[in-house]
Amino acid sequence: MSSEPKKPKNSTLVEIKKVISNIGISRLIVALFFVFLLCMTAKQEVPGTISNVLTRIGMHGVLVLCMVPSIRSGLGPNFAVPFGILAGLLGGLIAVQFNMTGLGGFAVAVVCALIISFPMGLLFGYLMNRVKNSEMMVATYFGYAMVAIMCIGWLLLPFTNNAITWSMGKGLRNTINLEPYFGNALNNIGAITKSYNAGDTMMIPVGVLVIWLVVSIVLYWVFIRTRDIDLDNMKDEELAAYNKTRKERKKTGIISVALITVVCAVLAFADIGFLHGIRSALSVHITFKSNTSMEIPTGMLVFLVLCCFAMWLFNKSKTGISMAAAGSNPDCARASGININKQRMIGATMSIMLSAVGILVYAQSFGFLQLYNAPLNMCFPPIAAILIGGASIKQAKISHVLIGVVLFQGILTMGPTIAGRYLSGLGDGMDPTEIVRIIITNGIILYALTKAGGASSEE
């Protein structure tokens, strides 16, 4: 449209503006809020907060990851997560029914969940292919309706284990304790526990972190960033020269970022005597008032990373590429001989299967399987998380999952601690972070919808 692009006077300012608009204003607010909370937490319960945040990241990570295939295949965020969760719950119940414990129990649960969720995913995919353009709304209510049906189902299913059924009366319990079965099965693998006694001091190398961040951003800005250049009005030699220097600059940039990372890592963590002074100067020192401990659920985090890696691999595969094509430009994909409906089916099925696995990861860490209406509450948070991470309802990457889950769960975990400190006047059991959760979750989804809506109204 704009035939004559205006030449901005202050290009740096314009570029910063562009970066902000690329990140998205609501996303930026959430990120700043995260940093704010981080700063507020710094002097408080650090070990507890760290283990809490890490645990919640691990718990929710796979559920967020399940958005990736659904968005990439063009279905938009999977609002039918509760539907997939039902399969996960069934898988978990089967493992409990046969008294499976530990990692084996978890594995059995996952396998059962995958088997059950596969036809469910196909059904969901079939439905989504019938309702193009209304996927999100239909998926939401489809999920709700299925959860409601399963509520009746939980009353009728023939499970016999006393841990699952009510001792008297019909139906299954509302929550099933997994502690005797596969509770914490993943968390416990290689879990790191570190205890601190009252009076111990802990150093957190905040300064090093800040230095690393600032230097990295500057290096990125100077060396790596792709600049806006006028490709068409450049002479050939100029372009060639530009491309050549660009490659070199990029190389320099990456090497220096790697270098500064190593230096900072050494500064922050390596136990070398003469660095202690610098490190201590650049750190925040915390003295614990009471005994406390830090637990890192290594197994669960590794599982999440493995899942992400598998998804990343899939995205690089032939099927993954054709699925993304079918999602981002169906017409083009069709012209390349790709069956769009099949790709959408694959995306839907993968998403449902992943959400089934996701709830099991969640449940083993949480310690309970929650039946009946509980899955309804699992619908929006994963969507909000991936959108905060930078995804839109048409594009999603693995990095969006990781960034999103860290930001979102970080805020949700740190929020109550902070709020508890400053807003103790509130009574009646209303949790102010609940408000924050509601506003962020729905605000970010609304923001994403307006961004996508603008595009669709132009068509």
Partner 1 sequence: MKNNSKFAKAGSFAKKNIAAIIFILIAIICYSLSGMKPSYVIQQVLLRLGQNSFLVLALIIPIIAGMGLNFSITVGAMAAQIAIFFVTNWAYQTQSAVFSGFSGFLIALVMLIPLSLFFGFLAGKLLNKTKGQEMIAGMILGFFATGIYMFFFLIIIGTVIHIDNPFLIISGGVGVKNTFDITIASSLDNLFNRKLAVAGPYIMCLFILHFTRKINFKFFEGKKHGKLLSVIPFLAGAASMTAYMLAGEKPADFMIIFYYLGMAIAVLSIALSVYRIVKFKKEDLKISAVIAVAVCLAVIIFFQALEYVNPGSKAALDEIKAILKVRVPMSTYLAILGLCLFNTFILKTKIGQNLRTVGQSMSVATASGINVNKVRIYAIVLSTLFAGIGQLIYLQCIGSLQTYAAHNNIALYSVAALLVGGASVTKATNKQALFGIIIFHTILIVLPSAVGTVFEDAQNSEYFRAFMLYSVICFSLISYAVAAKKKKSKAADGPEQEKLPSEEQE
Partner 2 sequence: MGDAYVLQMKNIGKEYSGNPVLKGIDLKVKPGEIHALLGENGAGKSTLMNVLFGMPVIHNTGGYTGEICLDGEKVHISSPKHAMDLGIGMVHQEFMLIPGFAVYENLKLNREVTKPNAVSRVAGKSYESLDNGQMRADTKEALDKVGMDLDTDEMVGELPVGHMQFLEIAREIDKKGVRILVFDEPTAVLNETEASRLLESMKRLAGMGIAIIFITHRLQEVIDVCDTVTILRDGSLVTNCQVKDTDAVQLAEMMVGRNVSYSDISGRVDKFDDSDIVLEFRNFSVDMPGEQVKNIDLKVRRGEIIGIGGLAGQGKLGIPNGAMGLYPASGELLYEGKALPLNHTKKILEKGISFLSEDRKKIGLILSESIEDNMVFNAMQIKREYLFDFKLFSFRNNKKIAEFADQMIHEFDIRCVGRKQQVQNLSGGNQQKVCLAKALALNPKVLFVSEPTRGIDIGAKKLVLDKLKELSWNQGITIILVSSELMELRSICDRIVIVCGGKVADILSPREDDAKFGLAMAGTKAEKEAEKTS
Residues in touch with partner 2 (CB under 8 A): 3-4, 226, 229, 231-232, 234, 236, 239, 242-243, 246-247, 313, 316-319, 321-322, 325, 328-329, 331-339, 395
Q: To which H or E segment does residue 399 belong?
A: helix 398-422
**Euclidean distance between CA atoms 349 and 313, whole angstroms:** 17
Query: Of these partners, partner 2, partner 1, none, which one is at the site of residue 271 (CB under 5 to 8 Å by kind)?
Result: none
In the bound state with partner 1, the residue whose beta carbon lies nearer, of 307 and 445, is: 445
Cβ atoms within 10 Å, residue 5 = 8
Binding site for partner 1 (CB under 8 A): 79, 127, 130-134, 136-138, 140-142, 144-145, 147-149, 151-152, 155, 169-171, 372-373, 380, 423, 425-428, 430, 432, 434-436, 438-439, 441-443, 445-446, 449-450, 452-454, 456-457
Q: How far is the CB of 113 from partner 1 (least distance, A)?
A: 22
Query: Of these partners, partner 1, partner 2, none, which one is at the site of residue 234 (CB under 5 to 8 Å by kind)?
Result: partner 2
Query: Of these partners, partner 1, partner 2, none, which one is at the site of residue 17 (CB under 5 to 8 Å by kind)?
Result: none
Contact present, 81 and 89 (Cβ < 8 Å) = no
Q: How far is the CB of 167 from partner 1 (least distance, A)?
A: 15
Q: How far is the CB of 318 from partner 2 (least distance, A)?
A: 4
Query: Of these partners, partner 1, partner 2, none, which one is at the site of residue 9 (CB under 5 to 8 Å by kind)?
Result: none
Q: How far is the CB of 89 from partner 2 (least distance, A)?
A: 30
Query: Of these partners, partner 1, partner 2, none, which one is at the site of residue 137 (CB under 5 to 8 Å by kind)?
Result: partner 1
Tokens of 303: 């599982």
Contact present, 199 and 255 (Cβ < 8 Å) = no
Query: Of these partners, partner 2, partner 1, none, which one is at the site of residue 242 (CB under 5 to 8 Å by kind)?
Result: partner 2
Tokens of 162: 């006393």
**Euclidean distance between CA atoms 421 and 190, whole angstroms:** 33
Q: How far is the CB of 70 from partner 2 (least distance, A)?
A: 17
**Euclidean distance between CA atoms 69 and 71, whole angstroms:** 6
Query: Of these partners, partner 2, partner 1, none, which one is at the site of residue 232 (CB under 5 to 8 Å by kind)?
Result: partner 2
Quick one: CA dihedral 432, 405, 300, 347, positive or negative?
positive
Q: How far is the CB of 414 from partner 2 (least distance, A)?
A: 34
Q: Which residues pair with 258 in a beta bridge?
A: none
In the bound state with partner 2, the residue whose beta carbon lies nearer, of 241 and 426, is: 241
Distance of CA 118 to the CA centre of its chain: 23
Torsion, CA 362, CA 364, CA 367, CA 373, rounded to 10: 50
Look up residue 226 and give its DSSP letter.
P
Amino acid at the residue 28? L
228 Cβ neighbours under 8 A, 6+ residues apart: 15
Q: Which residues pair with 203 in a beta bridge?
A: 285
In the bound state with partner 2, the residue whose beta carbon lies nearer, of 313 and 435, is: 313
In the bound state with partner 1, the residue whose beta carbon lies nearer, of 175 and 373, is: 373
Query: Coil, strand or helix: which one is 369?
Result: strand
